[in-house]
A and B are shown apart, each in its own frame.
Chain A
Amino acid sequence: MANPMPKRRLENIGLSITGFCVALVALVVVTLIVMVAQQGLTTFFVDGLDPVAFFTGQNWIPEQERYGALPMIVGSFAVTLLSTAIALPVAIGSAMFVVEIAPGFGRRVFQPFIELLVGIPSVVYGVLGLYVINSLMRAIFGDAAGTGAGILSGSLVLAIMILPTVTTLSIDALRAVPEEYRSGSYALGCTRWQTIWHVVLKSALPSLMTAVILGMTRAFGETLAVQMVIGGVERSMPSGLLDPASTLTAALTAGLTNAVSGSVYYHALWTLGLLLLAMSLVFILIIHLIGRKGAKARG
């Protein structure tokens, strides 16, 4: 007690150890961004490809040295939006049931249950998709579905994969709505559904949107599962939901095994990686904007 110096030194040690950890994480992230950017931009600055042509080109045919990334960009956005559209109503519906109608059942049974889905590795989802969803597509649509692989199959598999994320976050969002809001609504004579629809859902909207964006982030970046069921056709634009297509991630996994480091093809693949990285940064930005808007709305 008499000697304050060791205390201060102790405090400094604590600060520097923990500060080092944070700095290390930040450094790794910066290294990653710089490295991906450096490799990805080589395509334009060293290999001399035209960025506009790269991002708007409709044909990705590496053996002809034609690199147009639009088919994969469209594929990535298509499966992301479609899978979110499929998963969202189910996720929010389940969240409503679990929070508003049967809270006990939700906490004890439903939540542990849906978290099982998180634990299934994405390779296993891919294998399931390959055997079950693709056969289902062929059974329903016949010849038009080709092998069954396509945007729709990819979206279905992704929808199942992001379901637990979106559901769990939606449940949290609805639970966070203060109880007084509900009591107030019931006191005015509203039914349960009116309360859920007009009061709970409205006040949970910013958090629900965050849940949706986080789900989309996962769908956008998912790799092996999507690659196994989407068909992998990169050479031209898909024209329908049953059409085989490719995503940025699928093109990367397939391409990296064949590209030789240092070649134009290899750099072009890194540019796709850079695009993925940029997109995940955009998703984070959107979440921040929603958070800020929500904070402002609440005053």
Chain B
Amino acid sequence: MANTSSREAHARRIGAQDRFATGVLTVIVGLVMVLVVAIIAYILVRGAGRALTPGFLTNTSSDAVLPGIAYQLFDSFYLLLVTLVISVPISLGAAIFLVEYAPDNWVTSAAKTAIETLSSLPSIVVGMFGSLFFVVTLGWGISIIAGACALTMFNIPILVRTIQQALEDVPASQRDAALAMGLTRWETTVNVLLPAAMPAIVTGVVISAGRVFGEAAALIFTAGSAPARLNFADPFGPIGPFNIFRPACSLAVYIWRLTSEPTAGSTEIVWGTATILLACVLLFNLLARLLGKALSRRLTAE
């Protein structure tokens, strides 16, 4: 008798414990959701007004009436483009090597460790290194190319990992079939694996683009913080927009600079820029999802 009641008590106790734990976990998740919404809402409330003002995206920052962020926006995208042009081929090659060729020896494990090291480096250390190596040693000066190389150092570990994952996720049967047909490993990779992994790779590249877009610490000492006057008539001239040896100022660096040295009315510009930056990153995430979906649909349709 006593035994049964104590067992019932135990059942009640663990039942209550279970309900209590579920309650606590629900509250935690609720709080996290509230936090995310609050942060984003706060930025939007303070910045959306300015961000939506016509002219904010198209005026230059020296505009007397409504200072805008046209050059910073351009520089951000251009920096991103140069970064991707450098980092995507290298990451692709490195990932293919690690997945398809890598011999199981110290060379491979050293390479893996090197990539892992890159992924954990504080951005300021990359910035310091860039300011000495790319800017002074290689003699590129404070320039877009120096900034893009610093950004590449962040981007490579993220990209290599996603591409590696994407290649490994291709069903083994596809690889075996291609190899059985007498294709070399290289042909298999280029003709079978890469197309099959493409949706995941594209998604990964776009998501990494979002991360790179908001980086500031590594850029301050490599690409600088000065929006040069751009001359669109001569795109590759000394002050041409596409000249990779001119200094640049990305959106994130611009925010840092304006909070450090505010001028009249700069607070609104800071929040407006933050809103635009946030919107760009959200757009990248959305784009990644859509592109991934569209690509995989097309591939399976074929």
Contacts and interface: CB of A to CB of B under 8 A. Distances in A.
A and B in direct contact, judged by CB atoms within 8 A? yes
Interface in A69-96: 89-90, 93-94, 96
Interface in B86-141: 89-94, 96-98, 100-101, 110-111, 113-118, 120-126, 128-129, 131-133
B60 to A, nearest CB: 21
B90 A21 contact: yes
Contact of B17 (A39, A128, A193): A193
A289 interface: no
B275 to A, nearest CB: 9
Contacts of A28: 118, 153
A114 interface: yes
A20 B93 contact: yes
B25 A21 contact: no
Interface of A: 1, 7-8, 10-11, 13-15, 17-26, 28-33, 35-36, 39, 89-90, 93-94, 96-98, 101, 110, 112-124, 126-128, 130, 132, 160, 163, 167, 191-194, 196-197, 214, 217, 220-224, 228, 249, 252-253, 256, 270, 273, 276-277, 280-281, 283-284
Interface of B: 14-15, 17-18, 21-22, 24-26, 28-29, 31-33, 35-36, 39-40, 42-43, 89-94, 96-98, 100-101, 110-111, 113-118, 120-126, 128-129, 131-133, 153, 156, 160, 182, 184-187, 189-190, 210-211, 213-217, 220-221, 252, 255-256, 259, 270, 274, 277-278, 281-282, 284-285
Given A94-B29, A121-B214, A256-B221, 19 more contacts: A14-B185, A18-B101, A20-B93, A22-B98, A25-B90, A28-B153, A32-B133, A39-B132, A93-B25, A120-B39, A128-B43, A160-B35, A193-B18, A194-B18, A217-B120, A221-B123, A256-B131, A273-B124, A277-B121
Nearest to B253: A123
Contacts of A283: 120
29 contacts: A14-B189, A15-B101, A18-B93, A18-B94, A19-B101, A21-B89, A25-B111, A25-B115, A25-B156, A29-B115, A32-B125, A93-B25, A94-B25, A97-B29, A98-B29, A117-B36, A121-B215, A124-B274, A124-B278, A127-B274, A128-B39, A132-B42, A193-B14, A193-B17, A196-B21, A221-B120, A221-B121, A281-B117, A281-B120
B33 A113 contact: yes
B185 A224 contact: no
A192 B18 contact: yes
A117 B110 CA distance: 33
Contacts of A228: 259
A90 B32 contact: yes
Given A13-B186, A31-B133, A191-B18, A119 B28 contact: no
- Interface core residue of B21, B24, B101, B128 (most chain A CB under 10 Å): B128
Nearest to B284: A119
A118 to B, nearest CB: 7
Contacts of A252: 124, 128
B97 A18 contact: yes
Contacts of A14: 96, 101, 184-186, 189-190
A97 B26 contact: yes
A114 B28 CA distance: 13
Contacts of A197: 21
| Majority SS at the chain B contact face | helix
Contacts of A277: 121, 125
Nearest to A23: B111
Nearest to A214: B120
B36 A26 contact: no
B38 to A, nearest CB: 9
A284 B116 contact: yes
Contact of A191 (B14, B32, B110): B14
Nearest to A39: B132
Contact of A11 (B21, B110, B185, B274): B185
A225 B125 CA distance: 15
Nearest to B47: A124
Given A21-B90, A256-B221, A284-B113, A36 B125 contact: yes
B129 A36 contact: yes
A1 to B, nearest CB: 7
Nearest to B37: A113
A101 B29 CA distance: 11
Contact of B122 (A29, A132, A280): A280
A135 to B, nearest CB: 13
Contact of A193 (B22, B92, B270, B281): B22
